Amino acid sequence: MAEENHDESLEFGDNVDMSTFEQILDMDDDEDDKEFSKGIVFGFLEQAEQTFDKMEASLASKDLQELSALGHFLKGSSATLGFVKVKDQCERIQHFGAKKDETGTGNIQDEEYCLRMISEALAEAKKTFNEVAAQMRQYYAES
Amino acid sequence: MAIRKLWVRRGNASATQVAVSPDDLVDDVRDAVIRKYLNSIGRTFDAPDVSLRICPREQTNKAGNERTLAPDEPIVRLIDAYYPGGQKVEEALIIDVPQRRTPKPSPRSGPHLQSYYIAEEIRPGDADDYFPPMPALQSPHANAHGTLPTSHSANSHLHSMAVLTTGQLPPLPSPGGRSNRHRPKAGRQTTSSPTILHSAQISNNHLDHKQPLNGTIPPPTPPLPTPPAQNSDSRNSTTPPTRVASPPPNPRQRSGRRKGPTNSMDRNGATRHHSNMGHVLPTAPASVGLLDTSVPPINVLIVEDNVINLKLLEAFMKRLKVRWKTAMNGKEAVAVWRTGGFHLVLMDIQLPVMNGLEATKEIRRLEALNKIGVLSGSLPDGLLESCLNGDGVDGDLADEEMKSEDRLQDRKAMFKSPVIIVALTASSLQSDRHEALAAGCNDFLTKPVNFVWMERKVTEWGCMQALIDFDGWRKWKGLAAQEEANKTSKKGESKADQRAALKAIFSQPPKTRKEREKEKERELKERENAQVGGPVGGPVGASTGGRPKSPTNVRRPTGKTNIIEVNGNGYDGKNDSSTSGTAVMPEKR
């Protein structure tokens, strides 16, 4: 269960904000089996996949409000884990779903544009999620 | 002749040059000196504080001894007169600054290894000595190498090392050098929290103070329960403490997957009391574990819609060893809060069903309607009830607005003070924060929540709440104490008996002063017993806020005139107001 390549596997690149992720790791009582953080991380992976599915569905039904809510939802947990790239895309989805620009301040009238942007952001979110998910699976030596 | 350079130096430090114009006075030189020594002299002194000394050349029969220059002397002419042929480095003017009356080490000295020393040989008026304006910093290192000037002589010339050891400000501690940067860990056992120690101190002092008044009855609050000592040992070891009670998992939340080592994160075995949290006395392990945690035994409501975050916050609460409950939307949060006993709410702002701000407003509205905290302490039971029933002083308001569904159950016991609401917001926008505060939140944390901050918030607010809810706090703290107190204070004497006894005393004819003092002692003692061992529903003044008024409140129900005589200003006993004040006040804190 314990990693041989412990140090290397801690390198998640810029996918993960280490200071945030480390405080999750710090919650582990056992450095080796990392039971708690593993539970959290894999819980997140599961949650993210479900949320992405919901997002796709909402995108199909052009439900911007729901998309915004889903974006916010996933933003919360990805931020908690320090998965910053996923978080950023979720934030974009949240904002565009609320018909706001990327900063969340300016209003956008064009719903089609918002949907298009959300579609882009969702694709990007999935891509970066898959990266981080692979890294995590490797880190926890479970694939 | 244009600008000239003038050598000056401080004590034995290396000399430096300041520029002077031909018609400058000594006073101008002082200005220049202040500018030159901006960090040392300039920081502490003004130009007029500085004086300059001139030392005539050896074997000059002209001017005699060294002297201090008057501010109005023309400096250039003076120098020319003293030092024909030009001033040499060794002839630098000596800068004197007034001695500080009480040189103190910097308050920041804290945990640093360096010790500040003040040279013994420094005496005002000792012409040969230079007194640094700031306490000299002596690093043990420098001392060991003898670089510190030990013999001060006006003519000894020391180089820049001396400046380092004399004129320098103590180093600033690095801002990151805080000691409590650690993250909370399960195995971590800090020493008892300062807060706990502090309050223990207070109550001890308090007891000491009152002991003479207690006559033969032993102090109702014995020293802190001892069990933690052995307990902390077991905690320090890696053996996880046995799980006393598994946290009844929230139906929605899976607490599965975690077992084994995670158990050590369990909170102190306090079972989750669903209907009357905070009211029910904890099981023994809870009071035991409490003393070696740094966070008071508060009850936290976590409101968070994302299970991942919720799990994490829960784990964190476990680690902090506080009780908690969860809610996943605002509506639920209000409902759970209404069960009472919460000290702190961690409120996610963006929530489904009812968002955090709405939930906060609702909680505040209910608190206001039920007069939580505002008047609860200073009103006697009857009046309080009448307020609630709508026929008291605020009857109109209560009648209009107080619907039965708004009434909080068991409000006196379960809602000691307004709950602290800490908003958890993903946004770092200032406007969102203001909105949160405006809605009635007390504080906020930005997500992702930094656990160090979280711990601080929980500790800070928790301590505050624990002190407000002093009885609840005491209950946790002093189970053992309580038992003993109950044992020693006339066994089985109920509140009613005590009241009856008081009544009996007060209905007697006025006493001599000695008798009154005796009574006072007895009464204080009784009140103290009530505070220590009594149930929450005891005398209002003793169990809730508004303690300064409590002496009157306690006795108001008896309705006798001589009460006033005993308690009020009409009584001229020397200990009267002060005694009752001090006897009660420390508990308030």
Are the beta carbons of B273 and B279 closer than 8 angstroms?
Answer: yes
**B587-to-B87, B203, B236, B280, B394 alpha-carbon distances in Å:** 71, 7, 32, 21, 29
Domain boundary among B146, B170, B194: B170
Q: Which residues of A touch B261 (CB under 8 A)?
A: 29-30, 33, 35
| Average pLDDT rounded to a whole number, residues B66-83 | 84
Q: In this complex, is the C-beta atom of B86 within 8 Å of any C-beta atom belonging to chain A? A: no
Answer whether B443's CB lies under 8 Å from B434's CB: no
Residue with the larger pLDDT of the pair B13 and B168:
B13
For residue B387, pLDDT beyond 70: no
Tell me the residues of A at the B interface, defined by beta carbons under 8 Å apart. Answer: 20, 23-24, 26-27, 29-30, 33, 35-36, 39-40, 43-44, 47, 69, 72-73, 75-77, 79-82, 104
* Interface mutation target, options B255, B303, B312, B454, chain A, most CBs of A under 10 Å: B312
Domain containing residue A135 = 12-22+33-139
Q: For residue B210, tell me if it sits in a domain.
A: no
Tokens of B72: 């109005």
* Nearest residue to B49 via CA among B35, B34, B39: B34
Is B117 within a domain?
Answer: yes
The CA distance from A8 to A19, in Å, is: 16
Distance in Å, alpha carbon of B154 to nearest chain A alpha carbon: 56
Q: Which residues contact B198 (CB under 8 A, 6 or more apart)?
A: none
The confidence score (pLDDT) of residue B547 equals: 36
Residue in A77, A82, A104 nearest the CB of B306: A77
- Whole-angstrom Cα distance, residue B391 to residue B230? 54
pLDDT higher than threshold 60 for residue B551 = no
- Whether cis (ω within 30° of 0) applies to the bond prior to B448 is yes
pLDDT at B246: 37
* Of residues B64, B92, B72, the one with CA closest to residue B24: B72
| Cα maximum dimension of chain A | 53
Give the Cα separation of B292 and B285 in Å (integer).
12
Across B342-350, average pLDDT: 88
Chain A residue with CA closest to B186: the answer is A29
**Does residue B512 surpass a pLDDT of 70?**
no
Using the predicted structure, report yes or no on whether residue B379 has a pLDDT greater than 90: no
pLDDT of residue A35: 83
N- to C-terminal Cα separation, chain A:
12
pLDDT of residue B231: 39
The answer to whether residue B381 is domain-embedded is no
Q: Please give the average per-residue pLDDT across B141-152, as a whole number.
A: 42
How far apart CA B396 and CA B393 sit, in angstroms, is: 8
Identify whether the C-beta of residue B346 lies closer than 8 Å to the C-beta of residue B304: yes
Please tell me whether residues B492 and B577 are part of one structural domain. Answer: yes
Asked if the Cβ–Cβ distance from A82 to B187 is below 8 Å, we say no
Percentage above 90 pLDDT, chain B: 5
Q: Which amino acid is at B461?
A: W
| Residues of A in Cβ contact (< 8 Å) with B450 | 23
Contact B185 A26 (CB under 8 A): yes
Query: What is the predicted pLDDT for the residue at B474?
Result: 64
Closest in B261, B305, B309 to A80, CB measured: B309
B309 and B418 co-located in one domain: yes
State the CATH number of the domain containing residue B32: 3.10.20.90
Q: How confident is the model at residue B253 (pLDDT cuts 50, 70, 90)?
A: very low
Nearest CA in chain A to B425: A76
At residue A46, the pLDDT reads: 93
Closest CA to B474 of B397, B417, B534, B423: B534
The verdict on B17 and B50 lying in the same domain is yes
CA distance A6 to chain B (A): 21
Residue A134 tokens read as 């692979």
Whether residues B230 and B321 fall in one domain: yes
Contact assignment for A80 to B264 by CB distance below 8 Å: no
- Tell me, yes or no, if B328 comes closer than 8 A to chain A by beta carbon: no
- Flag whether A119 is in a domain: yes
- Rounded Cα gap, residues B241 and B230, in angstroms: 12
Q: Which residues contact B489 (CB under 8 A, 6 or more apart)?
A: B217, B220, B529, B533
The domain tally of chain A equals 1
Alpha-carbon distance of B421 to B356, in angstroms, equals 10
Query: Above pLDDT 70, what percent of chain A?
Result: 91
What average pLDDT does this structure show over B569-576?
A: 39
The pLDDT-based confidence of B152 (bands split at 50, 70, 90) is: very low
Q: Is the pLDDT reported for residue B188 higher than 60?
A: no
Count of domains forming chain B: 3
**Chain A residue at shortest CA distance from B309:** A77
Residue B304: inside a domain: yes
- CB burial readout B288-299, b (16+ within 10 A) else e: bbbbbbbbbbbb
- Most confidently modeled range among A44-48, B124-128, B270-274, B517-521: A44-48
Residue-wise pLDDT for A55-107, tens only, equals 999 999 999 999 999 999 999 889 889 999 999 999 999 999 998 887 777 88
Cβ pair A35:B240 closer than 8 A: no
Q: Is residue B8 part of a domain?
A: yes
Kindly state whether residues B496 and B445 are assigned to the same domain: no
- Out of B105-119, B341-355, B370-384, least confident range: B105-119
For residue A132, is it left (φ>0), alpha (ψ between -120 and 50) or beta? alpha
DSSP states of B369-425: HTTTTTTTTTS-HHHHHHHHHT-STTHHHHHHH--GGGPPTTHHHH-SSPPEEEEEE
Is A104 or B319 the better-scoring residue by pLDDT? B319
Phi-psi region of A13 (alpha: psi -120 to 50; beta: other; left: phi over 0): left
Rounded mean pLDDT, B370-391: 50
Determine contact, residues A92/A126, Cβ cutoff 8 Å: no
Whether B306 and A73 lie within 8 Å, measured CB to CB: yes
Band of pLDDT at residue A115, cut at 50, 70 and 90: very high
What is the dihedral sign for C-alpha B115, B121, B125, B127? Answer: negative
Query: Is the same domain home to B422 and B506?
Result: no
B56 vs B8, more confident: B8
**Of B34-48, B424-438, B495-509, the least confident:** B495-509
Domain assignment present for residue A6? The answer is: no
pLDDT for residue B232 is more than 80: no
Q: What is the pLDDT of residues B422-467, one digit of tens each?
A: 998 877 678 888 888 899 999 888 878 888 888 888 888 887 877 7
- More confident site: B319 or B254: B319
CB-based contacts of B185: which residues, under 8 Å, 6+ apart? Answer: A26, B319
Q: Is B382 part of any domain? A: no
Distance of CA B582 to the CA centre of its chain: 21
Is residue B529 very low, low, confident or very high in pLDDT (cuts 50, 70, 90)? Answer: low
CA distance B546 to chain A (A): 41
Residues B341 and B441 in one domain: yes
B305 in contact with chain A, both atoms CB, cutoff 8 A: yes
CATH code of the domain covering residue B231: 3.40.50.2300
B467 and B492 together in one domain: no
Alpha-carbon distance B118 to B575, whole Å? 46
Question: Which domain does B43 fall in, by range?
Answer: 1-170
The least confident of A116-120, B374-378, B406-410 is B374-378
User: Does residue B385 lie in a domain region?
Assistant: no
Tell me what pLDDT residue B572 has.
40
Contact A77 B240 (CB under 8 A): no
- Per-residue confidence (pLDDT) for residue B501, from 0 to 100: 55
Per-residue pLDDT, B555: 37
pLDDT at B36: 85
- Which bin fits A141, alpha (ψ -120 to 50), beta or left (φ > 0)? left
Nearest chain A Cα distance for residue B330, angstroms: 15
For residue A52, the domain's CATH number is 1.20.120.160
Q: Do A35 and B258 touch (CB under 8 A)?
A: yes
Identify whether residues B164 and B36 lie together within a single domain.
yes
The mean pLDDT value of chain B amounts to 60
pLDDT interval class at B303 (50, 70, 90): very high
Residues of B in Cβ contact (< 8 Å) with A81: 308, 448
Q: Considering CB atoms only, which of B258, B307, B450 is closest to A36?
A: B258
Q: Residue B400 domain-assigned?
A: no
Residues of chain A with Cβ-Cβ distance to B185 below 8 Å are 26
Indicate the residue among B450, B477, B504 that finishes a domain.
B477
Residues B281 and B367 in one domain: yes
Q: B462 vs chain A: nearest CA distance in angstroms?
A: 21
Whether residues B156 and B46 fall in one domain: yes
Provide mean pLDDT across the span A33-47: 88
Residue A4 within a domain: no
Average pLDDT over residues B346-375: 84
Residue B110 in tokens: 């804290």
CA atoms within 13 A on the CB side of B483: 9
To the nearest 10°, report the CA torsion of A85, A86, A92, A95: -130
In this predicted structure, the answer to whether residue B242 has a pLDDT above a threshold of 80 is no
Q: Are residues B453 and B525 in the same domain?
A: no
Alpha-helical regions (H) of B12-156: 26-36, 41-44, 75-82, 140-144
Q: To the nearest 5 percent, what fractions of chain B are helix, strand and coil?
A: 45, 10, 45
pLDDT at residue number B69 = 85
d(CA B379, CA B541): 8
Q: Where are the alpha helices (DSSP H) in A26-99?
A: 35-60, 64-81, 84-97
Using CA coordinates, name the residue in chain B closest to A69: B352
